[in-house]
Amino acid sequence: MTPWVLRIVLATIAVFFLQSNGPWVVEALAFDPHLVLVRPWTLVTYMFVHAPGFGHIFFNMLTLFFFGPRVEDRMGGRAFLGLYFTSGIAGALLSIPVGYPIIGASGAIFGVLLAYAWFWPRNQMLIWGIIPIEARYMVLLLTAASLFFGFGGMGGNVAHFAHLGGFLGGFLYLKVLQRNAGNVRFRRQMQPLAPKLETTAGALDRWRRIKRDGLHEVNRDELDRILDKISASGIASLTPGEREFLDRFSARH
């Protein structure tokens, strides 16, 4: 696991065991829309509280374990934390009209799922471990289900509006990051008398020096794929996203 995914999982497990000390723990940390102005910290703390039994926390942390590391590796730790907590807070805010207290990391994790589909929309996921579906269609399916059950009043104890809020918060956060990245690139292009541009050969040499052993397995595969593409079709064949991928990891070394 990547550093912040591991810390979030450990913190969530710690709070889960702390809940055994009595109901006061859940009462202090759960998000209650009626008390948000006097207990604003619960916009964050509710994400670390889960229902009794292992099902709720197990599936949330399992989803984070599978999808979080690749997203954190792609975005970097600071941006990943921003995504996680922005999505979770948005999930709480969108649940305010519902009026009942909510707990759980689902809103934050739905934001992570959205980011996964954002970066790798065609990657295959498995529903119930059996039915293959592309990540982008999985997000659409989950959104439709949350809308249907949320507005249809058939949600049971599931906070469907928190799920929708997680998607919305994650989407807005990623759009802001995308816009800021575009602004940075624009400013760089407009700088007069820019320093000597890096040659194509220099960029290729820098990319090839990326240390594969320090990358997540999925990112190692992506690195190999892009370098193979360069060997076959040249640097001009790279997409902006592929160049950004190589530049990000080469900057770490």
Residue 234: what are its φ and ψ, rounded to 5°?
90, 165
Pairwise CA distance, residues 56 & 87, whole Å: 18
The first and second tokens of residue 7, run together, are 């810390």
Say how many Å lie between the first and final Cα of the chain, rounded.
Answer: 20
Gyration radius from the chain CA atoms: 21
Residue from 50, 56, 87, 106 carrying the catalytic annotation: 106
Catalytic residue among 50, 56, 160, 163: 163
The yes-or-no answer on residue 106 being catalytic is yes
The pairs formed by 197-202 with CB atoms below 8 angstroms and a separation of 24 or more are 200/235
**Torsion angle of the four alpha carbons 136, 138, 143, 146, in this order, in degrees rounded to the nearest 10:** -170
Q: Which two tokens stand for residue 236?
A: 């001009």
Q: Tell how far CA 5 is from the center of its chain.
A: 10
- How many CB atoms neighbour CB 126 within 10 A? 10
Active-site amino acid positions = 106, 163
